[in-house]
Amino acid sequence: MATIRLGDVAPDFTADSSVGKINFYDYLGDSWGILFSHPADFTPVCTTELGTTAKYKDEFAKRNVKMMALSVDSAESHAGWIKDINETQNTTVNFPIIADEDKKVSTLYDMIHPNALANATVRSVFIIAPDKTVKMTLTYPASTGRNFDELLRVVDSLQLTAYHKVATPANWNQGEDVVVSPAITTEDAKKIFPKGVEEVKPYLRMTPQPNV
């Protein structure tokens, strides 16, 4: 079992799911992807998370992001759980949930941590770029629900910094000022970023977000 690190190529897999047999790479196509795991079906925190994911579909779609969930229970179990999710969260689950009964995908992605859950996946998140490289990983404890606004924020940052020579500062949100890459001189930065460059310190230069 290998640990997935930032920059690694996300392992491909084919598995049963709530929508039938599915191949991960084929499903993603040229989109960004978020793969996130759940310890088991019919668990309370995860029920709220999957409902929230469904409600955020349009926001993720705007960013060309496809969602895929995973649990070690069966596709039949997923079908029953989805009914509960739709009922209790007042939504419609609109993304696949992988049925990882043989723990093949869990093993590929190192989702089983014996100190936490010996026989089930921990609550991991992987953000994957169109070139299939892993751009972010997060692991949450069972008691803490994931923050989907934060996942959107990270996607915004990743997509911005992939195409512009900037980084995003603490608590950054879409539309706010960004940090000029340290690899660029201030003189060059002023040419690259016509909206202006503020030199707070020689190593800390701010500029308005270039793609808005």
- Tell me the residue type at 189: A
* Best CA proximity match to 16, nearest among 100, 136, 127, 116: 100
Q: pLDDT tens digit string along 17-51? A: 999 999 999 999 999 999 999 888 999 999 999 99
pTM value surpassing 0.75: yes
Task: Please state the domain extents for the chain.
Answer: 14-146, 164-207
Q: Distance between CA 32 and CA 10 in Å, rounded?
A: 12
Check residue 117 and give its pLDDT: 59
- Stated as kind and residue range, the H or E segment containing 123 is strand 123-128
Fold classified for 14-146: Glutaredoxin (3.40.30)
Instruction: Return the active site residues.
Output: 46
Taking all residues of the chain, what is their mean pLDDT, rounded to a whole number? 93
Asked if pLDDT for residue 122 goes beyond 80, the answer is no
CATH C-level class of 164-207: alpha beta
Check residue 141 and give its pLDDT: 84
